[in-house]
Chain A
Amino acid sequence: MDKYIWLIPLLPLAGFIINGIGRNSLSKNTIGFIASLLVFASFALSVGAFLQIKSTGLPINVTVFDWFAVDNFKVPFSFLVDQLSSIMLLIITGVGFLIHLYSIGYMHDDNGFGKFFAYLNLFVFFMLLLVMGSNYLIMFIGWEGVGLCSYLLIGFWYTNPSYADAAKKAFVMNRIGDLGFLIGIFLIFTYFGSITYADVFSKAAGMHSKDAPFVLITLMLFVGAVGKSAQLPLFTWLPDAMAGPTPVSALIHAATMVTAGIYMIARSNILFTMAPDTMEVIAIVGLVTATFAALIALTQTDIKKVLAYSTVSQLGYMFLGLGVGAYTGAFFHVLTHAFFKALLFLGAGSVIHAVSGEQDMRNMGGLKGKLPITFITMLVGTIAISGIPPFAGFFSKDEILAHAFMHSTTFYVVGVITAMFTSFYMFRMLYLTFYGKFRGTTEQEHHLHESPSNMTIPLIILAILSAVGGFIGVPESLGGHHELEHFLAPVFERSTKIMGEQTLPKNTEWVLMAVSVLGAIAALGYAYSKYVKKADIPVAETEERPALVSLSYHKFYIDELYDTLIRKPLDALSVFLYKVVDLLGIDDFINGLGKGTIEASKGLRLLQTGNVGSYIFMMIIGIIAILVYSFISIHNIK
């Protein structure tokens, strides 16, 4: 298997190149086929790798070539596939493949079909690099590369300026995080003399938490994660990223790319474990983000926006998990989230597809009958995300909450409340979309249809995964064996050693589970009464809303806040620096030197009066001056 490991990222890259070059000449079917096939091939290889690791327990480490080396800074282009990355590989290639498949149907009428698949393949390539890299810099390539693809795909319909803006925003915000990541890498290199995981982690494990500025390093890495995984305060790009085609939202902005931050922290777990302060920060940021995004999601009317904020919220959960030391739990949630969120997005895509591109839920409703497969699969996804057993989300979320409880009761309480919100807004979405009667135009109504099979099959597969995916991590309190934890144990081994085994009494755990499940169901019920029973439709854009609702609906005015606090001042500063400092200040100073000289010239030439008398007079003055000067200075010499 080791020999072919480099093929995993290379195949999608090949797909990118082929589709990129042949985007206009190849037929759509060919393009879709090539793209999907190559990703599938990667998936197959990933499965192979996974099986090998599962059987041997040893990571695969392959160096392809030396990327660059300066002085003692050496960066091999090498891959590391261990337990953690092999699962990520499976998610990326597996979910990726499904989404490719789905996209063939979804994008069928789009002019940029070839381009789309090329980008998608490129994304898979970079995402694979991100998780397969054996050092931070390879990860960073993937890290930025996926940012690029995100940019390209959000701006896929670039003729719409606001889409292009959203793309740009995503890239820039990611870049803010990337800078933190980069500085983190520098710090790591400075203190560990290497950026290869193996070296860094083994060295770090042997150190005391005071030996190196672990807090600083991890904070910087966390900044990177915040950007990529859309946490406060850098989350605003993710909702905007919904401008891209829906499969993109599913793949990039739900299942894979945005979880890169979690992957990175999980990967560097030992460093974070050494820095409890950072862990605290991560937990708080995660929790606040989860709640904050959930609050916003409560009132959104755009189906994709709801999902986007839900993603932000779920990512917050994952960070909460990381912050409280539940590495496995967080990663488990990554996995389950990949299933159900991809499912939800694709389902939403199917809905949007059905209603001719309409995304506003106020104009939907009653689609249950028209889109049965979509409805059922989405229902599964919604249940999963709401944390209702035995669907996938329950197990992963529960694990996180349990750890949060161990860490601090407050975290747990807020976490549960957020889970209730989640349940509420997800079902709200479901009800608004599928229940009641259709609220769109008649033309749209005529057009309503279930999506083609290449779109529904992925939905079904993902629905199954969302339903049963949780069983790989059934906690021991429920009589499970938590396969995932055992599988991942080698990765978190060192951290576990430091933190120590943490377990709750079984009854406590049951109570906790019960609380969260009941909370979720209560929220579900409230949503049902509000949106199905009372058929309460969110008010139109122009109408007044209660203050709190309005605040939530307007996303707490965060975008506006950033606009006023950062963008506008910077733009004003730009103009100021250019017009005042650069042109009037520095340049005019320089020009002033020239102008001053010319003015001096104008003045000085008047000395040349043309009058012999004055010439001679000045000569005399000169002579006197020289005589005086000479004889004063000769006194000094003597």
Chain B
Amino acid sequence: MNTFYFIAFLSIFFSILVISAKSPVHSILYLILTFFTFTIHYILLNAQFLAIVNFIVYMGAILVLFLYTLMLINLNKEAEPVKSNLVKLAAVIGGGCFLITIVASLKLLNVSPGVSLQNPGLGLVKNLGKVLFNEFLLPFEVSSILLLSAMVGAVLLATKEPKSAA
């Protein structure tokens, strides 16, 4: 239980750093750390496969892509121009209010049961695979369209137009 609080604290801590770091590169690095804490959360939840996928997909692929892009376009640039403090303050207050309202609306003050592991094998590949390829076969297949579309689009957008050179 204490582990959870510790990890949770880390998650929050790193995520705050993500948004407050001056350099985008630092942000990414903190984000990697944050995601790592998430992976730990998954493990704590006995969702091993999820933890692995999270690790691979987010940290291995997505964040590297971020980093890569950042390097590509912003390498020799100064840090981004920052928003004025007033705007920041307003944003933080707004975000804080949002947090408060959402928490209040979830009525967290009520006591709630602990997260009990009813099915220890729940997070295993075998188990998930069954669900994914039975019930969720259709969304699984349909999401291929999503990826295909994204792929085509990414290529389309990111390539330089031959005409645009002119």
Binding site for B on A (CB under 8 A): 613, 617, 620-621, 623-624, 627-628, 630-631
Contacts and interface: CB of A to CB of B under 8 A. Distances in A.
Interface in B47-102: 83, 87, 90-91, 94-95, 97-98, 101-102
A621 B105 contact: no
Contacts of B105: 627, 630-631
B109 interface: no
Given A613-B83, A617-B90, A627 B95 contact: no
B98 A620 contact: yes
A257 to B, nearest CB: 87
B104 interface: yes
A623 B95 CA distance: 11
Contacts of A630: 105
A624 B90 contact: no
Given A620-B94, A631-B104, 6 more contacts: A617-B94, A620-B98, A624-B94, A627-B102, A627-B105, A628-B101
A613 B94 CA distance: 12
14 contacts: A613-B91, A617-B90, A617-B91, A620-B95, A620-B98, A621-B94, A623-B98, A624-B94, A624-B98, A627-B102, A627-B105, A628-B101, A630-B105, A631-B104
A627 B98 CA distance: 9
A74 B126 CA distance: 100
B99 to A, nearest CB: 10
A624 B97 contact: yes
Contacts of B91: 613, 617
A623 B101 CA distance: 9
Given A617-B90, A617-B91, A624 B83 contact: no
A631 B90 CA distance: 24
A624 B105 CA distance: 10
Contacts of A613: 83, 87, 91
Contacts of A621: 94
A303 to B, nearest CB: 95
Nearest to A618: B94
B24 to A, nearest CB: 16
A613 B80 CA distance: 15
Nearest to A614: B87
B105 to A, nearest CB: 5
Contacts of B87: 613
A475 B101 CA distance: 109
Most buried by B among A621, A627, A630: A627
Nearest to A627: B101
Give me the 10 closest cross-chain CB pairs, A-B, nearest first: A627-B101, A620-B94, A624-B101, A627-B105, A631-B105, A624-B97, A620-B98, A624-B98, A617-B94, A628-B101
A526 to B, nearest CB: 104
A224 B101 CA distance: 80
Nearest to A626: B101
A627 B105 CA distance: 7
B45 to A, nearest CB: 27
Nearest to B104: A631
Residue of B83, B91, B94, B95 ringed by the most chain A CB atoms within 10 A = B94
A627 to B, nearest CB: 5
Contacts of A617: 90-91, 94
Nearest to B100: A624
A265 to B, nearest CB: 86
A39 to B, nearest CB: 98
A620 B102 CA distance: 11
Contacts of B104: 631
Nearest to A625: B101
A632 to B, nearest CB: 11
A630 B101 CA distance: 11
A630 B83 CA distance: 33
A409 to B, nearest CB: 98
A628 B102 CA distance: 9
A630 B97 CA distance: 16
Nearest to B94: A620
Interface in B96-131: 97-98, 101-102, 104-105
B29 to A, nearest CB: 24
A617 B104 CA distance: 20
Contacts of B98: 620, 623-624
A624 B104 CA distance: 11
Contacts of A623: 98
Contacts of A624: 94, 97-98, 101
A624 B97 CA distance: 7
A396 to B, nearest CB: 101
A235 B90 CA distance: 82
A341 B97 CA distance: 100
A8 B98 CA distance: 97
A210 B104 CA distance: 81
